[in-house]
Structure 1
Amino acid sequence: MSKDRGILYGIWLITAVLLVRFVPKNKIRHVIVVMFFKQFLTWFLGLWVVEKGLIKYPVRFMRKSNKSSFTFEYFIYPSFCAIFNLNYPEKRNKVIQFLYYLFHVGLITGGEVLAERYTNLIKYVKWKWYYSFLSLGITNFISRLFYKWFYKNEFENSETEGN
């Protein structure tokens, strides 16, 4: 097994552990909804980016299905987005919420930059790190809107109970 493939397995394991650690059992259905929605977004964007030749994924699972990375587009980004949404500081001030966005988007982007620099998991062709930062920020924002809309009754009930 190559070093890069070992890193892929490690990323899957770490992400699974993070999901178990940061997702309460009573919120599993929330995670599934958020992950499916984020996968819907990243499927379009991820395919567009690789088909336009902006990014390459030289080492990946499911090489014969398409050129995008199943690991990143369908597991890592959606998992981190679910953790982002479930732990969002809803009742905190706007500065804390903005810093929370920056932290989550920066964490993923930083990991992607390290992977691009030191592995063959991803290679930027006509891409820059700040494109990832921006696209992740936008898709996290859209997923946040969708999550609040999908579970609006639960959000309204929690606001009522807090008063």
Structure 2
Amino acid sequence: MTIERFMLIAISAFSIATVFYIPKNKFRLALISFLAFQSITWAATIIFVQIGSIEYPVRVFMRATNSGFLHNFTFIPMIFTWFILLFPKKSTIIRKVLHYIIFISVIVWFIYFISVFTDLEKINKGTPFSFCIRLYISFLVYFIFCHLYVSWFSKKENLIQE
């Protein structure tokens, strides 16, 4: 088994296993968080693949799509879901900013390491440093946008049952 196949299995196992740790009273909030972030990663990944910025030499659905399915459509949205579930609502601004930085860093460094050490993702444009900076900026925008959407949606529908 290659490192790429092992990573794909590990990503799948992690994404499925974390579903069982979601509290029942926050499951609807987790679902809307997952779907909202998944829609953004889907669109962004398709755009970046089409303009040639990134490519995915090893992927699950070789004929169906040119993008990496498991880490873009399951792992990264699951990280955002846990970002929402663990967000410190009644805390200081410094703690909230640190929460953003920690979760975005997990995603950015995961993407960086799989692009450097595996063939799951290949960076075609820019240096590794500029790629990381672009990832931090883009994921910060994605996180802020989706967090605002999920906050608005959860107020409207009362997704958290107390």
TM-score (norm 1): 0.88
CA–CA distance in 2 between the matches of 1:18 and 1:129?
26
What is the DSSP-based 3-state SS (H/G/I as helix, E as strand, rest coil) of the residue aligned with 1:134?
Answer: helix
CA–CA distance in 1 between the matches of 2:86 and 2:144?
14
Task: Summarize deviations over 1:100-142 as a string: whole Å, max 9, x none.
Answer: 0000000111111111111111111115122112111111111
Identity of aligned residues (%): 24
1:55 alignment partner in structure 2: 54
Residue 138 (structure 1) aligned to one of 132, 141, 144: 141
1:67 alignment partner in structure 2: 66
1:95 alignment partner in structure 2: 94
- Superposed, which structure 2 residues align to 1:10-159 within 5 Å? 10-21=10-21, 23-127=22-126, 128-153=131-156, 154=158
For these two proteins, the number of residue pairs brought into alignment is: 157
Structure 1 consecutive aligned stretches of length 4 or more whose deviation exceeds 6 Å: none
Higher relative contact order (CA 8 A, sep 6+): 2
Q: Give the gaps of 5 or more residues in structure 2.
A: none
Q: Give the gaps of 5 or more residues in structure 1.
A: 159-163
TM-score (norm 2): 0.89
The 8 Å contact of residues 4 and 58 in structure 2, kept in 1 or not, is answered as yes
RMSD: 1.9
CA–CA distance in 2 between the matches of 1:116 and 1:44?
20
CA–CA distance in 1 between the matches of 2:83 and 2:19?
11
The 8 Å contact of residues 4 and 120 in structure 1, kept in 2 or not, is answered as yes
